[in-house]
């Protein structure tokens, strides 16, 4: 064996060359959401219908026919008597749809309520109601 010494060199990565960017930021589409106070009032009205404190007919112009029929059915009556909407959040789903999440305080427990609103002919209508 010869007495050759091994030489170890540190590996260095090749120089970084920035890639050209093909993507660029664009502004969000303007989203016209319903008035927050109107959404809160609609949500409270739905809660009152579900609690039997308000007639479903008061919402006929603000809900779809399917939701109206569901609210009128006896099965829709929940233990929401005396319930109050505690908070409401809206999330746009596009230019003509909004999802609403609400926290509802009931005497015996707190519940969640979800609404889906669609805009048609410059009017917002509730097309889906889910009580959790």
pLDDT tens digits for range 6-38: 566 677 777 777 777 777 777 766 668 899 999
Strands 110-120 and 84-92 turn out to be: unpaired
Split at pLDDT 50, 70, 90, the class of 4 is low
* Token output for 97: 């749809």
Task: Quote the CA–CA distance of 125 and 128 in Å, as a whole number.
Answer: 9
Q: What percent of the chain has pLDDT over 70?
A: 89
pLDDT at 79 over 60: yes
Model confidence at 116: pLDDT above 80:
yes
pLDDT of res. 17: 74
Helices (H) and strands (E) in the chain, counts: 2, 4
83 class by beta-carbon count within 10 Å (0-12 exposed, 13-18 middle, 19+ buried): buried
pLDDT computed for residue 50 by the predictor:
92
- Answer whether 102's CB lies under 8 Å from 88's CB: yes
The two tokens of residue 50 are 């579900």
Query: CA-CA distance, 131 to 71, in Å (whole number)?
Result: 12
CATH number of 36-131: 3.10.450.50
Tokens standing for 41? 């009032």
Do the Cβ atoms of 45 and 54 come closer than 8 Å?
Answer: yes
């Amino acid at each position: 064996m010869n007495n050759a010494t091994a030489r170890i060199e540190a590996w260095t990565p090749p120089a970084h060359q920035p890639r050209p960017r093909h993507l660029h930021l664009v502004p969000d589409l303007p989203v016209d959401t319903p008035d927050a106070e109107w959404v809160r009032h609609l949500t409270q009205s739905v809660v009152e219908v579900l609690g039997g404190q308000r007639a479903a007919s008061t919402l006929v112009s603000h809900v779809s026919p399917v939701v109206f029929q569901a609210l009128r059915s006896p099965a829709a009556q929940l233990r929401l008597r005396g319930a109050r909407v505690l908070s409401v959040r809206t999330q746009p789903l596009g230019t003509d749809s909004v999802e609403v999440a609400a926290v509802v305080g009931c005497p015996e427990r707190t519940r969640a309520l979800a609404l889906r609103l669609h805009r048609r002919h410059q009017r917002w209508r509730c097309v889906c109601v889910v009580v959790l």
